[in-house]
Amino acid sequence: MTALDRIVLASASPRRLELLSSLGLQVDVRPSGYDEPDDPLATPLELAIRHAAAKARDIQDFHRDAVVVAADTVVDVDGTALNKPKDAHDAARMLRALSGREHQVHTAFALALPGRDDLVERASSTRVRFYALEDDEIAEYVATGEPMDKAGAYGIQGRAASLVEGIAGDFYTVMGFPLARFVRTLRQLGFTLPTAKKTSNR
């Protein structure tokens, strides 16, 4: 097994940075310039995998000596992908589509490894059910600005927690990075995480 202390994150997401840092990793943030184009012929899950891979490829050549990880989250309503809203009107539209029903959240990640040209790609899916939302409730949430950089126009770890009736699956997949799946993938690839430092009781 190889000790992994440092990883390059091909994303500006503060949530993904927080989650990777919680593993004891030194995280170098190098946001990808990939613009996540829509493709009506691809399923939402295929889109998440494709976007994650493209982000990793975008950064891979600049960090050949490091492990690079990229991720993408897509909200799936009956096979239709909801990405980040374009504006407040679009965010409200998405939230109305999610109101009172179940949807899926797909988060994919792609790993670029030193000495390998191919990527390691994994994905995780979780079902989420929203309460029926009143128009004023949607308007109040949109007014916070929180939906604007989130797939499906909500962040389960923020104010939108009050909109969610329940989930079936991995919470961190909905948050934007399937942490347990990622750790198990690293182990399968022969990597160990940093050992937590012992704290003094004195």
DSSP assignments along 12-75, one per residue: --HHHHHHHHTTT-EEEE----------TTS-HHHHHHHHHHHHHHHHHTT-TTS-EEEEEEEE
CA distance 95 to 130: 9
The residues, ordered by sequence, that sit 6+ positions from 124 with a Cβ below 8 Å of its Cβ are 106, 107, 108, 169, 170, 173, 178, 181
Instruction: Give domain status of residue 27, yes or no.
Output: yes
CATH number at residue 149: 3.90.950.10
- What average pLDDT does range 29-58 have in this prediction? 91
Residues 6 or more apart whose Cβ sits within 8 Å of residue 138: 92, 95, 96, 99
The answer to whether residue 199 sits within a structural domain is no
pLDDT digits (tens, 9 = 90+) for 149-184: 899 999 999 999 999 999 999 999 999 999 999 999
pLDDT of residue 36: 77
- Look up the domain containing 71 and give its range: 2-192
Is 197 within a domain?
no
Domain assignment present for residue 175? The answer is: yes
Give the model's pLDDT for residue 195: 82
What's the total number of domains in the chain? 1
> Beta partners for 72?
108
Q: Which residues contact 192 (CB under 8 A, 6 or more apart)?
A: 1, 2, 3, 4, 186
**Binning pLDDT at 50, 70 and 90, where does residue 196 land?**
low
- By 3-state DSSP, what share of the chain in percent is helix, strand and coil, each rounded to 5? 35, 25, 40
Does some domain include residue 166? yes
Per the annotation, the verdict on 76 as an active-site residue is: no
Tell whether 200 is covered by a domain.
Answer: no
Answer whether 106's CB lies under 8 Å from 76's CB: yes
Q: Which of 35, 58, 72, 149 is catalytic?
A: 72
| Contact call for residues 89 and 148 (beta carbons, < 8 A) | no
Residue 130 is assigned to a structural domain of this protein: yes
Residue 202 domain flag: no
Q: Which of 80, 105, 82, 111 is nearest to 176 (CA)?
A: 105
Query: Which tens digits make up the pLDDT trace of 68-109?
Result: 999 999 999 999 999 899 999 999 999 999 999 999 999 999
pTM to 2 decimals? 0.91
CA torsion through residues 172, 124, 195, 29, sign: negative
